[in-house]
Structure 1
Amino acid sequence: MGDLDFWQKHSLSFLEMALQADKRERLSPASGYGHAQGTCGDTVEIFIQVQGDFIRNASFETNGCLYTIACANTVVHWVEGRSLQDARNLEPVSVFDYLETLPQEEFHCAEMAVDALRMALARISRIAAPPTSGH
């Protein structure tokens, strides 16, 4: 009966993001890479490919639980096709709200996924900066 409870207590949005695996991969080459580790020991890695000022492709890897997977998947699905500025504005509460049934005590999973995204975005800025040359 416990398995049935799981399916009934979670929203379709949560179930899709927790179980969909099409974005769970390491993009190569990645324009930006970020990682974050939670106090629970879970790790999230975010990979993004940028074209101009837009995120063309995004993916993730994690060693985390189903809640971490759902949050990381939500982040990469949300940012793909959006501007870098829109991606910078993503907040953990937006991930939490989208998933609808993420338990409050797992909110740190949304924070971890957004932290990994922010690190990837910060690294893009450094990569995209024009090289300085004395010539």
Structure 2
Amino acid sequence: MGDLDFWQKHSLSFLEMALQADKRERLSPASGYGHAQGTCGDTVEIFIQVQGDFIRNASFETNGCLYTIACANTVVHWVEGRSLQDARNLEPVSVFDYLETLPQEEFHCAEMAVDALRMALASISRIAAPPTSGH
């Protein structure tokens, strides 16, 4: 009976993001990379490929629970095709609202996924910058 409860208590948005695996990979080369770790021990890595001022491709890796997977997947699906500025404006509450049935006590998973995105966005200039010579 417990399995049936799981399927019935979660929204279609949550189930799709928790179970869809097409964005769970390491992008190479990545224009930006971010890593965040929660107090629970879960980690999220976000990889983004940028073309101009837009995110062309995004993916994630995690060792986390189903809630962390759903949040990270939501973030990478949301940012693809959007401007870097739009991506910078993404807030954890937007991830929470989209998923509809993410338990409030798992809100930290949305925060962790957005933190990893922000780190990936911040790393873009460092990754794209040519190495400086010691001269």
Smaller-chain TM-score bracket: over 0.9
- TM-score, normalised via structure 1 length: 0.95
1-structure distance, mates of 2:29, 2:129: 18
In structure 2, stretches of 5+ residues that fail to align are none
- Deviation per CA, 1:80-126: give whole Å up to 9, x if none: 00000000000000000000000000000000000000000000133
Matched with 1:68 is 68
- Deviation per CA, 1:27-46: give whole Å up to 9, x if none: 00000000000000000000
Aligned length: 135
2-structure distance, mates of 1:15, 1:85: 28
SS of the residue 2:41 aligns to: coil
Matched with 1:28 is 28
Question: What is the deviation of 1:49?
Answer: 0.2
1-structure distance, mates of 2:127, 2:43: 23
2-structure distance, mates of 1:49, 1:6: 35
RMSD over aligned CA atoms reads 1.7
- TM-score, normalised via structure 2 length: 0.95
SS of the residue 1:106 aligns to: helix
Question: What is the deviation of 1:133?
Answer: 8.2
Question: What is the deviation of 1:134?
Answer: 11
Question: What is the deviation of 1:132?
Answer: 7.1
In structure 1, stretches of 5+ residues that fail to align are none
2-structure distance, mates of 1:38, 1:134: 38
SS of the residue 1:39 aligns to: coil
Task: Report the CA distance shift for 1:2/1:87 in structure 2 as closer, same or farther (over 3 A).
Answer: same
Percent same amino acid at aligned positions? 99
Task: Report the CA distance shift for 1:81/1:4 in structure 2 as closer, same or farther (over 3 A).
Answer: same
2-structure distance, mates of 1:53, 1:134: 30
SS of the residue 2:112 aligns to: helix
- Deviation per CA, 1:39-77: give whole Å up to 9, x if none: 000000000000000000000000000000000000000
Matched with 2:16 is 16
SS of the residue 1:15 aligns to: helix
Question: What is the deviation of 1:127?
Answer: 3.3
